[in-house]
Amino acid sequence: MNRLNDDQRATLMAQLDRDGYVVLPQKLDSDVIARLIAVIDRVTNQARGADKKKSVKQQNCVDTDPAFRALMMHEPALQLAYDCFGPMFHLCQSNFVSRPNDGTGKSDFVSASPWHADGPRPGLFPKVSGVMGMHYLKFGYFLTDLTHGSGGSLQVVRGSHKRMELDGKSHAAFRIADYEAERVQFDCEAGTVVAFHQAQWHAAPPNESDIERKNVYVSYCPTWMRPLDREFPSAESLEGLSDEERWLLGEPRPAQQWWLPRDNDAKRMGRFARDNDMPVGTIRSYE
Ligand SMILES: O=C(O)CCC(=O)C(=O)O
């Protein structure tokens, strides 16, 4: 039901290329939101102890609870990752943040996030004429209401993925007011999914509302890139998981196979190809 059709995919990919971000056409189902929030609340309460106002961030959350692994399998996200990277992609990063109005004033990626682009610091991904290619695609799943406008919504600068990070300025010299016309703030309904290019400039100010902001970020990259926040999984930790889940989580295999797909490797993510694409491995005839 969530599956994007080929026309939607073409439109979203054109927007992603132009703007550096897209909002997916469908929100998460309410039962999925409820399941994720229940786990986030459980983990957050444990992490907080007595400090009930503390913001909490959990890295590599796919290993925390199966609910996050299920989110990693969100079909429209995998369809867009396939459009960006082809069949040889896997999980790059997953985390959740539970962020109340904590009053810390910190911009430490937990209580709030400063303006930046993702990637190895400082902007070490290769560039051509100052522009970075896409190395990973990141999805923000916003689980609580942000339409009130003071919840510390994600912000981006439209089109900034085609420019140097913060136009080459230091964080101290960067002024978001200079980019006001292109600043986009996602004051969105619960369940909204935003995807963005890793080179997109983005930030999130502190939550100043009474509604705790709860969200998950999941990103995908080519299999020849190491994930940002996870080690190689043990074979035991992948037992009982589907072919697709094991692939995304980095199933152990010989070194070359991260680069050169063997046998069925390039077909593992095959169902996320466009409906009108030939199956991977089909030889085209030009006669
Ligand atoms: O706090 C946020 O929502 C933004 C997170 C962020 O900038 C990041 O994960 O790179």
Percent over 70 (pLDDT), the chain = 95
Tokens at 215, concatenated: 């969200």
Q: Is 90 in the pocket of ligand 1 (CB under 6 A)?
A: no
- Ligand 1, atom 8, lies closest to the CA of 109
Q: Is 118 in the pocket of ligand 1 (CB under 6 A)?
A: yes
If you measure from the C-alpha of residue 265 to the centroid of ligand 1, how many angstroms do you get, rounded to a whole number?
32
Residue to mutate, 92, 98, 217, ligand 1, most ligand atoms under 8 Å from C-beta? 217
Q: Is 96 in the pocket of ligand 1 (CB under 6 A)?
A: no
Q: Please, where are the H alpha helices in the chain?
A: 6-19, 30-48, 66-72, 75-85, 243-248
Could you tell me the residue ranges of all domains in the chain?
A: 6-272
Q: Is 99 in the pocket of ligand 1 (CB under 6 A)?
A: no
Top-level class of domain 6-272: mainly beta
Q: Taking all residues of the chain, what is their mean pLDDT, rounded to a whole number?
A: 93
- Ligand 1, atom 10, lies closest to the CA of 118
Q: Is 69 in the pocket of ligand 1 (CB under 6 A)?
A: no
If you measure from the C-alpha of residue 111 to the centroid of ligand 1, how many angstroms do you get, rounded to a whole number?
10
Written as one letter, the residue type at 62 is: V
Task: Give the tens place of pLDDT for each residue, 201-235.
Answer: 999 999 999 999 999 999 999 999 999 999 999 99
Exposed / middle / buried, residue 167 (Cβ in 10 Å: 0-12, 13-18, 19+): middle
Measured at the CA of 40, the angle between CA 39 and CA 44, to 5 degrees, comes to 120
Whether residue 190 contacts residue 211, with contact meaning beta carbons closer than 8 Å, is answered with no
If you measure from the C-alpha of residue 253 to the centroid of ligand 1, how many angstroms do you get, rounded to a whole number?
32
pLDDT at 285 (0 to 100):
43
- Ligand 1, atom 2, lies closest to the CA of 204
pLDDT at 284 (0 to 100):
44
Which atom of ligand 1 sits closest to the CA of residue 215?
Answer: 3
Q: Is 202 in the pocket of ligand 1 (CB under 6 A)?
A: yes
Average pLDDT rounded to a whole number, residues 10-37: 98
If you measure from the C-alpha of residue 147 to the centroid of ligand 1, how many angstroms do you get, rounded to a whole number?
18
Task: Give the tens place of pLDDT for each residue, 164-199.
Answer: 889 989 889 999 999 999 999 999 999 999 999 999
DSSP structure string for 33-98: HHHHHHHHHHHHHHHHTT-TT--EEEETGGGT-HHHHHHHT-HHHHHHHHHHHTT-EEEEEEEEEE
pLDDT at 286 (0 to 100):
37
pTM tops 0.85, yes or no = yes
